[in-house]
Amino acid sequence: MLAETTSFTLDGIAARMIRVEVDVHRGLPNFQIVGLPDAAVREARERVRAATVNCGFEFPLQRITASLAPADLRKAGPAIDLALATALLGAAGELRIEPLADWSLVGELALDGSVRPVRGALAMAEEARENGRRGVIVPTPNGPEAALAQGISVLTIDNFSELASLRKGEIPGRAATPASPGSQEDLPDLADLRGQEHLRTAVEVAAAGGHGLLMIGPPGAGKSLAARRLPSVLPPLAGEEVLEVARIASACGIGDGKISSVRPFRAPHHTVSAAGLVGGGSPPRPGEITLAHRGVLFLDELCEFSRPALEALREPLETGSVTISRARGRQTLPSRFTLAAAANPCPCGRGEDDPGCRCTEISARRYRAALSGALVDRIDLVVAVAQPSAEALAGPPGERSAEVRERVVMARGLMAERLGEGRTNAEAEPEEVAEFGITAAAAGLLADAHRSWQMSGRAHGRILRVGRTVADLAGSTAIGEEHMATAIQFRRRSAT
- pLDDT, residue 495, reads 37
pLDDT at 352 over 50: yes
pLDDT confidence bin for 79, thresholds 50/70/90: very high
Q: Is residue 451 part of a domain?
A: yes
* Statement: residue 95 has pLDDT above 90: yes
> Would residue 409 count as lying in a domain?
no
Q: What is the pLDDT of residue 358?
A: 81
Report pLDDT for 496.
Answer: 38
Q: Could you report the per-residue pLDDT of 99-125, keeping only the tens digit for each?
A: 999 999 999 999 999 999 999 999 999
Three-class SS of the chain: CEEEEEEEEEECCEEEEEEEEEEEECCCCEEEEECCECHHHHCHHHHHHHHHHHCCCCCCCCEEEEEEECCCCCECCCCCHHHHHHHHHHHCCCCCCHHHCCEEECCEECCCCEEECCCCHHHHHHHHHHCCCCEEEEEHHHHHHHCCCCCCEEEEECEHHHHHHHHHCCCCCEECCCCCCECCCCCCCHHHCCCCHHHHHHHHHHHHHCCCEEEECCCCCCHHHHHHCHHHHCCCCCCHHHHHHHHHHHHCCCCCCCCECCCCEECCCCCCCHHHHHCECCCCECCHHHHCCCCEEEECCHHHCCHHHHHCCHHHHHHCEEEEEECCEEEEEECCCEEEEEECCCCCCCCCCCCCCCCCHHHHHHHHCCCCHHHHCCCCEEEECCCCCHHHHHCCCCCCHHHHHHHHHHHHHHHHHHHCCCCCHHHCCHHHHCCCCECHHHHHHHHHHHHHHCCCHHHHHHHHHHHHHHHHHCCCCCECHHHHHHHHHCCCCCCC
Task: Tell whether the model's pLDDT for residue 255 goes beyond 90.
Answer: no
Q: Say whether both 270 and 157 belong to one domain.
A: no
> In this prediction, what percent of the chain has a pLDDT beyond 70?
98
Query: Are 271 and 367 in a shared domain?
Result: yes
For residue 419, tell me if it sits in a domain: no
Q: How would residue 492 be classed by pLDDT, with cut points 50, 70 and 90? A: low
One domain, residues 235 and 367: yes
Predicted confidence (pLDDT) per residue in 197-233, tens digit: 999 999 999 999 999 999 999 998 899 999 999 999 9
Query: Do 297 and 159 reside in the same domain of the chain?
Result: no
Query: What confidence score (pLDDT) does residue 330 get?
Result: 81
Query: With 90 as the cut, is the pLDDT of residue 401 above it?
Result: yes
Mean pLDDT of the chain: 92
Q: Is 184's pLDDT higher than 70?
A: no
164 and 119 in one domain?
Answer: yes
Same domain flag for 99 and 27: yes
Q: What is the mean pLDDT of residues 182-203?
A: 86
Q: What is the CATH number of the domain that holds 488?
A: 1.10.8.60
pTM: 0.90
pLDDT(166) > 90: yes
- pLDDT, mean of residues 135-141: 97
- Please check whether residue 421 lies inside any domain of the structure: no
Greatest CA separation found in the chain? 88
Shared domain check, 385 and 260: yes
Examine residue 494 and state whether it is found in any structural domain, yes or no.
Answer: yes
pLDDT at 258: 78
Q: Are residues 203 and 350 in the same domain?
A: yes
> Same domain, yes or no, for 216 and 355?
yes
Domain count, the chain: 3
Tell me the CATH number at 132: 3.30.230.10
Find, among 265, 248, 263, the residue nearest to 299 by Cα. Answer: 265
* pLDDT-based confidence at residue 494 (cuts at 50, 70, 90): very low
Strand-pairing partners, residue 159, are 114
Residues 325 and 443 in one domain: no
Rounded Cα–Cα distance for residues 271 and 162 (Å): 48
pLDDT confidence of residue 98: 94
Q: Is 112 within a domain?
A: yes
Q: Is residue 417 part of a domain?
A: no
Q: Over 80: is that where the pLDDT of 436 sits?
A: yes
Residue 407 lies in a domain: no
Query: Of 399, 417, 448, which marks where a domain is finished?
Result: 399
Answer whether residue 183 shows pLDDT above 70: no
Question: How large is the average pLDDT for residues 293-308?
Answer: 94
Assess whether 12 and 135 both reside in one domain: yes
What pLDDT was estimated at residue 355? Answer: 76
Given 379, 399, 419, which residue is the final one in a domain?
A: 399
φ/ψ of residue 294, rounded to 5: 70, 15
pLDDT of res. 440: 95
Which among 128, 145, 364 is positioned nearest to 260, based on CA atoms?
Answer: 145
Task: Read off the pLDDT of each residue in 237-266 and give the average, rounded to a whole number.
Answer: 89
Q: What is the pLDDT of residues 21-74, one digit of tens each?
A: 999 999 899 999 999 999 999 999 999 999 999 999 999 999 999 999 999 899
- The domain that holds 207 is classified in CATH as 3.40.50.300
CA distance 207 to 414: 14
Q: Is the per-residue pLDDT at 282 higher than 80?
A: no
The verdict on 223 and 366 lying in the same domain is yes
pLDDT at site 280:
86
Structural domain harbouring 96: 2-175
